[in-house]
Amino acid sequence: MRPGVWLAGAAVLAFLLLFLVLPVGRVFITAFLDADGGFTLGHIGTFFDQGLMRESFFNSLYVAVMSALWAALIAVPLAYFTVRFDFRGALLIQTLGVLPLIMPPFVGAVALQLIFGRSGSINLLLGEHLGFTLPIMEGLNGVVFVAAIHYFPFILMNLTVALRNIDGAMEEAALNLGCKGWRLFWRVIFPLAAPGFVAGASLVFVKVFDDLGTPLVMGQTNLLAPQAYLRITQVGLEDPLGYVISVIMIVFSIAAMALSARALKGRDYATLQKGGASIQRRRLTPAAAVAAYAWIGLVLLLVLSPHVGVLLLSFAQVWSYSPLPDALTLAHYATVFQDSTGMIQNTLLYCGLAAGLDVVLGVTIAYLMLRTTLPARQWLDWIATASLAVPGIVLAIGYLRLYKGMVIPGTELLFTGTWVMIMLAYAVRRLPYALRSCVAALQQVHVSLEEAAESVGATQLRTIRRVVVPLMAGGILAGFVTSFITAAVELSATILLTSAESQAPMSYGIYLYMQSVAGRGPGAALGVLAIVVVAVGTYISHRVVERTGQRFAAQAPVGVTVGGKA
Amino acid sequence: MQYRPFFRAPSLALMMVATAWLASASHAGTVTVVTSFPKELTQAYKSAFEKANPTIKVEILNKNTVQGIAYVRELPVGQRPDVFWASAPDAFEVLAGQNLLDNVADLANRAVPAKVGNYPINNPKGLYLGQALAGYGLMWNTRYMAANKLPVPAQWADLTKREYFGHVAMSSPSRSGTTHLTVETVLQGEGWDKGWSQMLQIAGNCAAITERSFGVPDGVNNGQFGIGLVIDFFGLAGKYSGFPVEFAYPNVTAVVPANIGLVVGGKNAAEAKKFIAYTVSAEGQELLLDPKISRLPILPPEAMKGKVPAGYPNAFEIAKRAKVSFDSDLSESRYNVVSAMFDQTITFRLKELQAATQAIHAAEAALAKKPNAGAAGLVKQARDLAFSPVVGAGMAGNKDFLAVFTANKKDAAVNKQVTGLEDSWNRHAQANYQRARQLAEQALAAAR
């Protein structure tokens, strides 16, 4: 092996150690420390003694499983119809399908309450005209409802890529043998796309299992993530049980992901020829087309309702106990443009850098994993992926503790006082998304292309630069976009790491506005701007991916992917 | 070497460090303020203070109280923010307990009275100053009340009534310092056992126990809840911002100050002192009267030079009228017990408590139409089960018992003891609520 490989591996490992493993370890140690600093398992024991904790665990499990199921019900038809059929507006639908992911925290929950809540538009109208109301946002099922709407894009994006990569010959063969409709879908297409589906569904499961904001806003405390949060953030009280819960959540999430990876292991999903472009997309019969459009329209209406709510709220003067706002105004946008344009720039800067860092790391890890024999290279992937399960607040406290007092050389500035901390936290938290995209992209580049390049005298570095990276371009861009858009709405680590308002990103600004009566409008307006900025970015990169995809139709993947192992 | 991806990282890092340095090179006289207060308020003070002192810049850092404390504590001396500014007095007690606050007694405004009601406005040890006054009360959405044909409540006790079931909201004392004060005020005003019973009945009528204290006024403003237990400025600011809401102080209320303090180990103590003095000066106090802010000044209205609008609440009058003279030592001595009891028996068991309360209401409604002695006995039993605190007044006054809750929870043995107690409360409450519900349902069946 060349020294460059060792160097690259060491650099990635150093990054992961410094900004993920050590800070998180620094916090987690608290779960195993006695008052005198000695080791104890007593805190772990207390966890299992409590009836409430057992109940919370099973509640979390229930919510995560149900959310994954409902998310699949939303995502599978969207993906199937837009990829395998001649469908007008497929690109638009896929772009809109990503929008729920970029719902800024607080805003989404507030908007959903305004529409589906107990005094939301729907229930007010139902109550007035039909005399009954629906408890959509109540209880654990309310959490499932919101989580499914929020996280189904993970399945949609993965499945889209997986479907596109199925060998068209398989479908043609099935059709020739008289297999049609549901049977074709269930027996041939869905099984071939299973890796993408499982990758997406396991992401949904883990995200929901760890999700804090949704249950808290909906008043559901008896789940693991809220229990951990409530204990870590109680005034003036250091409660080790909060950290114990975090440790247990991490271990469980990693186990869930490992299990899903195992489920796919040992089967071969590869088909020789890749790319849906190789066969003609099928046409729907007129009746089926009407049904499909109606269903997709309904689903889109549902999943975009929070966005409609935010939009209305951002223009609303007063919106209280009525299906629609009393009057509309532009004043909130004026406030935002006057006060907070700096925050938009900050978001673009931090998230851009973080996503850039993520794809650099993602490509490096993917290459080391798939193309070298570096010992323990799989560990880089596992460590990076584990950050999915680390709560933002734990990572942030870890940074503050580990880098306490460290000054940037040559200045008197604290390392923790600069925005670099925020950017690094974003990069670490969103690395798994970019990594999955890069791995999937590299898996689809045939190694013979590199061998060809090296056999005509190109060095390894030159091969990577001129052959591998260009062929991975679609996947890299997809990873960049996913990291970028999800970082743009990160809040939990942001709040703790922001050390000056002038350095604050948009998510912090939205949070800040949403803390006061007069700030709801401007908060929603800033939320709308965040959505627009990110959505435009996503759309543009989709277009770029489509075009790159056409150029490398046979070799490179098309579309956005998260966790796809297609 | 042309292997770009690997080499981009260090140059990126270099660039970032350089820009970070440029971006955050702070002004010589910058006062950094950590606060939980909303942007309208902090922006008003920042602008006014910077105008009055052109050489000093104010940098506001908004964090909720808990994260604010963590932030100050995790930073080394010399790098900390200068000023801590928040509502909950207990947050300042925590900071003072860790020696993070400097004495600011000499910055106090001499025109400020020593006490509001019975409560000292400035910390007697001089570690923090009162900056605005706040009372606690009820806010309600007039549209919601009209649509659901609900009468306007005046006292806490009103909220225990049947007609308010599912229309009330409050936060939890472990989440919100102001809610802790409200709960403690009720406990002190009514006595431990009666106070808890009232609290449990109100909570049984609650649609939600919100995680953030702002969740309550927000929900009332948008009509999600009918009535909320809130700190006064939440209600007043909603009203003056045009929302269809009203606010009233019940008789059992306490008026306590929101505070401001100087952090030990900040960068610009001299400028920070000027800022603190400004916030408590007559000029600074006037800013509180802005409709969007709507807080009560620490200066009596006569000292405000006629700037107070007609009909604006007078904190000193409310304090005089209030039945409770708030005992902060008592509150502090049982702080964690009250929080833990509330969470274990109310927040985490809300579903069961609601079900029991609803069943009791239904049985009582049936009994009111058609009296039945046997059923009435069952309902009384149900009430006793559902609405009695898990810890009685005797136990709550026991020093050894309270000591368990102030001991260091990092000690595994202590933690085991505390969580063991919490677990038994939780199970006890769950069983009681279920039993109460069964009894009430039996009573309902008998009364039919």
Q: What is the pLDDT of residue B21?
A: 45
Tell me if A320 sits within 8 A of B223, measured CB to CB: yes
| Closest-CA distance of chain A to residue B188, Å | 21
Interface touch B66/A462, C-beta < 8 Å: no
Q: What is the DSSP letter of B324?
A: -
Tell me if A404 sits within 8 A of A416, measured CB to CB: yes
Query: Please, which pLDDT band fits residue A482 given cuts at 50, 70 and 90?
Result: confident
Q: Which residue has better confidence, A271 or A242?
A: A242
Chain A contact set for B32 (CB, 8 A):
500
Q: What is the pLDDT of residue A271?
A: 56
Query: Please, which pLDDT band fits residue A206 given cuts at 50, 70 and 90?
Result: confident
| Closest-CA distance of chain B to residue A501, Å | 6
Interface touch A233/B67, C-beta < 8 Å: yes
Judged by DSSP in three states, B116 sits in strand
Chain A contact set for B175 (CB, 8 A):
230, 234
Query: Please, which pLDDT band fits residue A238 given cuts at 50, 70 and 90?
Result: low
Is the pLDDT score of B286 beyond 70? yes
Interface touch A320/B414, C-beta < 8 Å: no
Closest-approach residue (CA) in chain B for A43: B412
B255-284 pLDDT tens trace? 889 999 999 988 899 999 999 999 999 999
Based on its alpha-carbon atoms, the radius of gyration of chain A, rounded to whole angstroms, reads 24
What is d(CA A201, CA A440) in angstroms, rounded to the nearest whole number? 16
Chain A contact set for B347 (CB, 8 A):
221
Is the pLDDT score of A13 beyond 90? yes
Closest-approach residue (CA) in chain A for B147: A321
What is d(CA A409, CA B269) in angstroms, rounded to the nearest whole number? 25
Element (H, E) at B210: strand B206-210
Interface touch B419/A139, C-beta < 8 Å: no
Q: Which residue has better confidence, B22 or A426?
A: A426
Query: Please, which pLDDT band fits residue B107 given cuts at 50, 70 and 90?
Result: very high
CATH 1.10.3720.10 fits A51-329, yes or no: yes
Quick one: residue A171, left, alpha or beta (phi over 0 = left, psi -120 to 50 = alpha)? alpha
Whole-number percent of chain B with pLDDT over 90: 55
Q: What is the pLDDT of residue A28?
A: 83
A348-367 pLDDT tens trace? 899 999 999 999 999 999 99
CA distances from B55 to B27, B47, B266, B267 (A): 9, 13, 18, 16
B304-323 pLDDT tens trace? 888 888 888 899 988 888 87
What is d(CA A128, CA A114) in angstroms, rounded to the nearest whole number? 16
Q: What is the pLDDT of residue A234?
A: 67
Token pair, residue A103, equals 């719902």
Is the pLDDT score of A498 beyond 80? yes
Q: Which residue has better confidence, A261 or A304?
A: A304
Q: What is the pLDDT of residue B208?
A: 92
Tell me if A399 sits within 8 A of A18, measured CB to CB: no
CATH 3.40.50.880 fits A1-33+342-506, yes or no: no
CA distances from B240 to A563, B293, B312, B426 (A): 50, 9, 11, 41
Test mutation, A218, A235, A238, A497, chain B, max B CBs within 10 A: A235
What is d(CA B245, CA B249) in angstroms, rounded to the nearest whole number? 14
Q: What is the pLDDT of residue B136?
A: 86
Tell me if A100 sits within 8 A of A306, measured CB to CB: yes
Query: Please, which pLDDT band fits residue A1 given cuts at 50, 70 and 90?
Result: low
What is d(CA A488, CA A470) in angstroms, rounded to the nearest whole number? 27
A29-62 pLDDT tens trace? 888 888 787 888 888 888 888 888 999 999 999 9
What is d(CA A210, CA A245) in angstroms, rounded to the nearest whole number? 11
Is the pLDDT score of B223 beyond 80? yes
Average pLDDT of A500-511?
Answer: 86
Q: How far is CA A526 from the centre of its chain?
A: 21
Size of chain A in residues: 566
B426-446 pLDDT tens trace? 999 999 999 999 999 999 998
Interface touch A520/B218, C-beta < 8 Å: yes
Is the pLDDT score of A543 beyond 60? yes
Q: What is the pLDDT of residue A62?
A: 95
Interface touch A30/B410, C-beta < 8 Å: yes
Q: What is the pLDDT of residue B7?
A: 37
Quick one: residue A225, left, alpha or beta (phi over 0 = left, psi -120 to 50 = alpha)? alpha
DSSP strand E in B212-280: where? Answer: 227-231, 245-248, 256-263
Q: Which neighbouring-strand residues pair with A201?
A: none
Q: Do domains A1-33+342-506 and A51-329 have the same CATH topology?
A: yes
What is d(CA B188, CA A332) in angstroms, rounded to the nearest whole number? 43
Ordered by start, the domain boundaries in chain A are 1-33+342-506, 51-329
Q: Which residue has better confidence, B11 or B45?
A: B45
Closest-approach residue (CA) in chain B for A216: B211
Token pair, residue B46, equals 């920042």
Judged by DSSP in three states, B294 sits in coil
Tell me if A486 sits within 8 A of A203, measured CB to CB: no
Query: Please, which pLDDT band fits residue A546 given cuts at 50, 70 and 90?
Result: low
Interface touch A50/B61, C-beta < 8 Å: no
**Strands B119-120 and B115-116, sheet pairing:** antiparallel
